Amino acid sequence: MTVALPLAVKTWVPVGQTPQLHVLRYAPDLNPDEGIWNYLKRRELANVCCRTLQDLEQELIRARERLRHKHSIIRSCFLQCGYV
């Protein structure tokens, strides 16, 4: 597939050479981190309201520590992506 190169890439590639570029696209359905964040957002932090960023940071740390012991949830995030 031929794609027009942005100007920044054209200036980086020497004149007369064809760059061998591979376009990588982000696929959230293949990233287990997305499942973890989704779980934290919808379950662990669903009704959390913080007054400051420091409070939010503490809540995130507590939620992460709770999730750390839920091996089945973590494993399911990897299974959903096809890694296990």
Q: Would residue 82 count as lying in a domain?
A: yes
> What's the confidence (pLDDT) of residue 15?
65
Q: What are phi and psi of 23, to 5 degrees?
A: -85, 125
Q: Would residue 15 count as lying in a domain?
A: no
> What's the confidence (pLDDT) of residue 54?
97
> What's the confidence (pLDDT) of residue 26?
73
Domain that holds residue 55: 29-84
**pLDDT of residue 34 exceeding 80:** yes
Q: How many domains does the chain have?
A: 1
Query: Is the distance from CB of 37 to CB of 46 less than 8 angstroms?
Result: no
pTM listed for this prediction: 0.63
